[in-house]
Every structure is written in structure tokens, then in C-alpha cells.
Structure 1
């Protein structure tokens, strides 16, 4: 099969080529924010535009363009849609059996103030799920939980997307940092150390941002002791775990400490005024002694089982069962994607020399995080005492409700893979790299763009890590520092990633209103990535 070489400057002028490369991205934002098209329609047109740019300007063979879009679409279905289906099924099972009311009561018993509930669920529990699983599960589960607590869907989705930035750099047991180190041939701990300053600022600021979004400055004035406890405990334990242990456990340790310390603090301090959204005000307040401990334990059992399963699926000894000569390696089916695997060559300066662009599709039926969540759901059917037929109906209903969101996610990934295999994303990266000493400020913005294009901080590091390090070598800045900047910028970019937006909308039945959710998160995403750029520049030139 003839190998096609990527050309990152098809028009002979990097600025003009970048302007062409931006056409699909600009259209996507305009379609959602200005034209207010439904998400699946905007994504479909964006894929078509990207295919036109790839074939007409980048001269990508049509068969390769179609193959890369198909590869991305299928990746959107497995494993991403599988994870969301399992997470939403677990949540709906809890709701339909009536046990979510008990969960709601137990959270209200800690605090009926929804500003505090956002800190507990979106920030604390979301960070735990991100540290253990990642790949959309945290946003899907915590968004659904907040909606169940009476938080309006738009706020629930937006707050969980924003909160997800704090644990994003060390998500899924530190995979983004580990891959970033591997890409540039550096020890992951070197990248992790450089992540600490900017992620510490981010993790400390975000609890204040979340409460401000819920209740403005009044909310910060009334709850600043609880916000400060959350920010300090999470930031100190996250940074300390990185420095003392490494990149695998910071999110898990920080979230567990936060989830233990904040409820203890609330036993000795409560805000003078309890805030609830207007819709939640109409609901009956559940008192602390309404349910027995046994009832509360049973209601929480699905999420306890979920936590155990996700943690088990994330530990290295369990993962080794599915790779190489592991006893369960036969459950993983991988194959080179037709018409695409090694058919595209990545070229300098993105790589040191012509490098085949792999395209291996993996069906990890057992080792997928989605399977861990689904097993938790199946166990929960019996723990909650649901009839098997009822659980089957809930599953089928969930699948029907998620058809359009799954299509949207598939098209988002089709766009991302097409942009990467055509070289479109690399064109934009090279424009950033052309900024000389200002690149330290732009470096996290490149990671931000990478996650917008790929939906994954890990993928962003794999895509742009080498370019970050090479540019750092040219301007005399540490490669691990710039890969760290790419990682933290990517964590901030997840809140505007089309994939993340689609996941949140799928979890709360917000189909067709993706633009509203993007409008909610966009301003904060831009402000936070600028803040990260300032911190990275200070790291490079002031505190190096």
C-alpha cells in the first residue's frame, strides 16, 4: 500500500495554511454558539468540512480520509460510548429502584447547601473517578448525580466539566504524564515535577470558581471556610503525592482526603445561609435520621462496587493479565485498521524522520473501564433487589435515549482522527512553535488545542509532546517543562472538548443543547489556560 506523506504547509505559507486548517474548528464554534445548531448536526458538517480541507488542500487520498474518519467514529463507540452507556445505566438503575432518593438524603445530611454539594460531588468524587478511570466516566457519573440532587442540568454539566480540570493531568492513574514522558524519552517523574506548580494553582483556584458559578461573590463570602479547606487539602495532598510517590496516585489520594476532611469540617462549621437552586427548593428536605444506616449502605452500594471495580481495573497487576502472555490476553482483539495503518507518514519537524502513523483498533472486551462499570451495574441489580426483567428494560431504555449522543460522540472522534491523520492539527501546532520565546506562554494553549482536537489529554501529549520538546530545545527551555505545560493545558481544554461536551449532554439528556454547555465553560477554559501560560512562563524564565 502506498504511504502518503503528511504536508504541514500545503499553501507554502504557514499562516495561510493554518487559516485553512482552522476552518472546521471555527465553524464548529460558530455552529454551536452563534447558529445554535444541534450537536450531532454541527459535528456532521464539521467532519465534512474537515474531509474537504484534508483532500483538497492537504491532498490526502480520499480513501485514507474516509478510513481515518471511520476509525475515529468506531473509537467513539468503543470504548467511549460503552463507558457512558454503563455509567448512565448504573445511575438510572439507582433512580428507577428508588434508592437514589436515599443517596440524595445522605448527601443532604452532610450539607443541604448545594454549593457544598458541588464541592463534594463535582470536585471531590469527580477527582476520584478521574484518577481511577478517566475517559468520560467522571463527568457522566457526577453530572447525573448533581442533577439527581436538584442542580439544573446546564449547571450540573458545566460545573462537572470545569471541576474535571483539577485532576485531569494525573487522570487514569497518571497516564497523560506517563505517556508524555515516554514520547520525549524522559522519566515520567520529571514531567510530573514540572506539572506541580501550574496544577497546584489550578486545583486551588477551582473550588472558588465552582462556588462563584453557583452563587456568585455571595457564595464565596458565605462558604469561604469550606472552600478553603477543600482547596488546601486537595492541593497539598495532590502536590505532595506527586513529589513523594509519583504520578500514578495524586488524584486518588487527594480526592479521598478531601472527601474525608470536608464532611468532618462541616460537623463543626456550617454556612449561616443554606443555598439551593430554585427548582431544588420545591423538593422536600430529607432529614438526617430518615433512613437507617443499612438502607443508606444499600443505596450507596452501586457506587461502592463501582469504586472497587474501577480501582481494580486500574492497578498494574490486573492490567498485566490482558497484555503479552497474560492469561486473559485472548480477551483483547486488536487489528490494523484497513486502508489506514502505516499508510500515513508523519514527517519532520513533527518527528525526527518519516514515521509510519499507526492505526490499531483494539476491542478490549473485558479490560475496558466501561466493562468494569457495567459489571458494577450488573452486581447492583441484585444488591438493590431489582428484577432482572426490570433491569433489562432500564438498559434498553438507556440505550435508546443515548442513540443520538452516541452518534455525536462518534462524529466528534471522526473529526479528531481526520484532523490528526491529515496533518491539519500539526499545522496549527507548528504555527504555535514558530512563536520563539513566547512559546512558553503558548505551550499550554497548544495542549488545550490538542485536547479539543482529540478529546484526551493522553492523546494530546502523544500528538504534540515531541514537538513541544523539540521547540523547547530550540529556545533553551526544558522539554519536560513544556510537556508538563501541554498536559495541564490539556486538562483545562477538556471542558470545551466536543467529546466531553457530548458526554455531559448524554448523561443529562441535554441532546441538542451542546452550544449552551459550551457557552457555559468556554470563558473559564480560556481564562484558566491563560493563567497556566503565565505560570509556565514564570517557571521557564524566573524560577527555572
Structure 2
């Protein structure tokens, strides 16, 4: 039996926390400063986490190794299972030639690449996050931006920045529901609080996207539509989370933002679109960005171009929103107590932790649903079984190091979590008293950066946030919500998500370059979220529901 010790080093929480941070520091140092390849950075950080667990936390080496294997399995399934099938779905559309028609459809809405960045990465990406989550939005919207002329690096950074505000309510609000289940706080209340935090950043994200896409010139030329879409999304997110449905918040907000874009573009068009497209193509020194699409769209071609994405939306809507389908899919999940590990790690209450149970969601996984969609698309597009399987096999070979990276990072996360390293860091930060309100989003950011999942960040820190709030005399719902909101800005620097973005746009082993471009966005948005939550605990308490 193993029970994690909060302060195993010199009986000091501060010293133990600094030791516990070594695996994270290793990842960020190797990726950001030394520019190592992501899989080597992940494997090295995993080794550091194992050494800390065994020598600092006195975790038995066999339990440490088993924790790593459980994390490795989770990285393969469901995480990379989702990404592999998302990219395969895209490759089928390319093989069929229908992806060229999708470019024409997107150009019909707007041929300005900066507006397309908002519509694809923010609106459509938000819808995919609401329905699927777990990396699928980054993978799918990344390749869509390539299709409209973005260079691979700009496409990757754009989709990572866009995949922020919708994350809190992603996958039908699973992060918020998880926090509610763990804390006993009504998840609708947590969702309402989150709905009074993330919209304060969401309205700025489209402005940041056009700034990232085309610099200050792009911001000057397109700020009206970026602001309209951002404000519409934010207001819809605020209203839905507070009064309509936490589960449907991102679906409503994304559709409202898309509708606002379509309506405004009928009466107003930004200037400089052609010049912006030329600048985007000029920066693509490898000439991987495709030329602008040309041709005449018929209703049939339009329908066939949109078919894969409409199919994904329909399938995921049924799977996530229709109760009979939800119950049926949930009934197929297989709960596997991890052999040799389950029952051997105890929580602070002396009871075995449940994180050692691996859920094999072979049918309900978003990856399996994407696989089913891909099979249907191959049939409709008349892509032969041989070609379809060939594409799948080549993708597996191409993504082998990406798969290793994600699996090693999830191994790292499981070792840190089950040995107690993550909770040590959390308790140390939570010991700051009333000032913790300003720091509480950092825990969500940290948890999501490590695991790549806002849901996992809430599983790690929601109860800690609740206990720290009660001890400091702060509204517990506020800090549990802050954990969720802080997590949304940590996802873009997660090694897992960096790898997904790099793989989708063809920048294999360039995760370190992407990391250096997005880290400052992540830290800036985190600082803003910390300020928002801190003020909401004091002078801005009136704005909470």
C-alpha cells in the first residue's frame, strides 16, 4: 500500500513542491530553451518524474512503473486514437478531391484569410470542442487553415490560441460536471460562475487571432468583425451558462458567433484581404500552402464538400445529447482496475483512489465515432478500401513519434498525480490565504498544461480549491470555477496539444518552435484570468451570479 506524503522532503511543503516541479521544469526547459524534439523531452521528463516519485516520495518502484504504464495506455487510447482518426478523416477528403470544394465553400463566406481564421479556428473549432474535445478541434481546424493558405506554423499557433475559451464547456461541459461531482457543488452553479469568467477573455480571442494571422495591419483592417464575433460569442456563452444550459453553452455560443459573422459579412467586408493572402503565402518558404481555390460551386458540390463536417456534427450531437444514445454508449464502456496498481494507492482518507481504474471506451470514445464517420465518408466519396487502409497505415508511420510523445507525457502526468507530486504543488500554492483567489487559476493552468485536459485538471485540483477557499473564507464555487477557467489557457502549452497541432499541420518534431510562439499568449491570458478571479473575490463580487 502507498499513501502519498504531501511534504516528503525535509517535512517542508515548499521544498517538496520545488522538487515536485522538476519534471515540469524539465519539459519546459527542453522544449522552450534547448529545443529538443518533443518525444525526447517527454521521455526525459518522465524519467525525472519517476526518480522524484521513487527517491523523494518513496513510492515503490513497481507502483511507479505501473502508474507510468496506465498513463501510457491512456495516451494511446483515447487521446491519440482521437487524433489519428481525425486526421484520417481529413486525408480521405483530400484523396477524394472534395477538400478543394470545401475551400471554395469557405471562400464563399469570406475570401479574407484573417476572417477565415476566426470562422474556422474559433467558431467551428468551438463547435468541435463542444461536441468532441480531446484534441479533435486542433487537429481538424489545423488542416482546414492549411487549405485556405495558412503556413503550417501560423496554422498551428492560430488553432492553439483559438482553442481556449471553449475548453471550459468542452465535450458537453465534462470539465464542469467533473468538478461538481467531486466537490458536491451543483455543477450548474459552477458553470454559471465559469460563464462569468471565460467570456471576459473570449471576446478578445478573435482580435488576437487576426493579430496573430496578419499583425497590426490585419488588426486595423478586420477589428470590426473580430469584435462583433467575439462579443456575440461571449454574450451567448454568458447567457447560456447562466440561464439556459451548461452542457449546450459552447454549441450555442459557437453557432451565434458564426451567425454573427455571416450576417455582418453581408453588409461589410474588410479591406486588404488579397494583400493579406499574398503575405501569408510569401511566408511559406516551403511552398506547402495551397493556391487559392477556383471554380464554380453547384449545390451538389457544396453539399458533398460540407458532408464530412455535417456528419461529424450530427453523429456527435446524437451521441452526446440524445439520452438513449448516451446511455447505450456508456453501457459499452469497460472499467479495468489497472493490474497490480488498483487498490494499492490510498488517498488521504485511507480509501483506495479511483484514478487507478482505466476506462476502455471502445465505442463511446470520440475517436471511434470519428472512425465510424470516416468509414461512411470513404463509402460516400467512393474511396476504395485499399486506399483508405493505405492512408491509415501511412499516417500511423508518420505519427509514430507524435504517438510516443503523447503517451510519454500522459505517463508523466500519471506518475506525478499518483505519487502525490501534483497535489504537493497544489497545496503549496493554496497556502497563501486570501491572496489565493488571485493565484487559484494557476492550479487549473498547471493541471491542464501537464495533462492536456481541463477535465483532468479539475479531477486533480477541484476539491483542493474548495478546501482552500473554505479555509480562507472565500466563496468555494468561485475558486472551483477558477480552476476550470485557468485550465483553458493552459491547454495551448500542453505537450500533448502541441504534438497534436504539429502532427496535424505537418510540423513533426517542431513542437519546441510552436511552444515558444504560444507560451507568451498563455502566460498573458493566465495573468488576466488571475486578475479577473482575484477582483471577483473582492470588488467585483457583484458580477457573480
TM score, norm. by length of structure 1: 0.95
Q: After alignment, is 495-504 or 414-423 more displaced?
A: 495-504
Structure 1 residue 296: deviation in Å?
1.8
Q: Is the 8 A contact 1:441 1:537 kept in 2?
A: yes
Q: Is the 8 A contact 1:39 1:511 kept in 2?
A: no
Distance 1:294 1:40 in 2: 44
Distance 2:175 2:292 in 1: 42
Structure 1 residue 277: deviation in Å?
5.4
2:429 is aligned with 1:422: no
- 2:352 is matched with 356
Q: Is the 8 A contact 2:434 2:474 kept in 1?
A: no
- 2:487 is matched with 490
Distance 1:15 1:320 in 2: 45
Distance 2:291 2:263 in 1: 25
Distance 2:319 2:155 in 1: 27
- 2:342 is matched with 341
Say if 1:283 and 1:466 are closer, same or farther in 2 by CA, change over 3 A: closer
Q: Is the 8 A contact 1:301 1:383 kept in 2?
A: no
Q: 1:536 aligns with which of 520, 533, 537?
A: 533
- 1:221 is matched with 220
Structure 1 residue 73: deviation in Å?
0.3
Q: After alignment, is 230-239 or 412-421 more displaced?
A: 230-239
Structure 1 residue 342: deviation in Å?
2.3
Say if 1:523 and 1:385 are closer, same or farther in 2 by CA, change over 3 A: same
2:380 is aligned with 1:374: no
Distance 1:364 1:180 in 2: 21
Matches within 5 A, 1:57-96: 57-96=56-95
Distance 1:155 1:125 in 2: 18
Q: Is the 8 A contact 1:222 1:272 kept in 2?
A: yes
- SS of aligned partner of 1:470: helix
Matches within 5 A, 1:69-218: 69-218=68-217
- 1:319 is matched with 326
Distance 2:441 2:264 in 1: 35
Q: After alignment, is 274-283 or 180-189 more displaced?
A: 274-283
- SS of aligned partner of 2:209: helix
Say if 1:150 and 1:241 are closer, same or farther in 2 by CA, change over 3 A: same
Say if 1:283 and 1:414 are closer, same or farther in 2 by CA, change over 3 A: closer
Distance 2:47 2:199 in 1: 40
1:439-488 CA distance string (max 9 Å, x none): 00110011100111222111111110111010000111111110100000
Distance 1:500 1:354 in 2: 35
Structure 1 residue 280: deviation in Å?
3.2
Structure 1 residue 278: deviation in Å?
3.6
Structure 1 residue 151: deviation in Å?
0.8
- 1:465 is matched with 462
1:393-430 CA distance string (max 9 Å, x none): 11111222111111111001000000000100011101
2:447 is aligned with 1:441: no
Distance 2:279 2:397 in 1: 31
Say if 1:284 and 1:508 are closer, same or farther in 2 by CA, change over 3 A: closer
Q: After alignment, is 437-446 or 299-308 more displaced?
A: 299-308
Structure 1 residue 291: deviation in Å?
2.1
Q: 1:300 aligns with which of 282, 306, 309?
A: 306
Distance 1:172 1:94 in 2: 24
- SS of aligned partner of 1:334: strand
- 2:286 is matched with none
Distance 2:379 2:171 in 1: 28
RMSD: 1.4
Q: Is the 8 A contact 1:233 1:258 kept in 2?
A: yes
User: Unpaired runs of 5+ in structure 2?
Assistant: 283-288
Distance 1:284 1:376 in 2: 28
- SS of aligned partner of 1:362: strand
Distance 1:120 1:132 in 2: 17
The total of aligned residue pairs comes to: 530
Matches within 5 A, 1:447-526: 447-526=444-523
Q: Is the 8 A contact 1:198 1:488 kept in 2?
A: yes
Distance 1:520 1:285 in 2: 26
Q: Is the 8 A contact 1:104 1:149 kept in 2?
A: yes
Structure 1 residue 345: deviation in Å?
1.4
1:473-506 CA distance string (max 9 Å, x none): 0111111110100000001111111111111122
- SS of aligned partner of 1:7: coil
Q: Is the 8 A contact 1:197 1:535 kept in 2?
A: no
Distance 2:224 2:363 in 1: 44
- SS of aligned partner of 1:459: helix
Structure 1 residue 220: deviation in Å?
1.5
Distance 2:178 2:91 in 1: 35
Structure 1 residue 68: deviation in Å?
0.4
Q: Is the 8 A contact 2:402 2:508 kept in 1?
A: yes
- SS of aligned partner of 2:329: coil
Structure 1 runs (4+) deviating above 3 angstroms are 277-287
Distance 1:290 1:4 in 2: 66
- SS of aligned partner of 1:361: strand
Structure 1 residue 284: deviation in Å?
4.3
Structure 1 residue 335: deviation in Å?
1.4
Distance 1:449 1:272 in 2: 40
1:287-332 CA distance string (max 9 Å, x none): 5x62212112112211111111122221243121134xxxxx3x43
- SS of aligned partner of 1:36: coil
Structure 1 residue 543: deviation in Å?
2.7
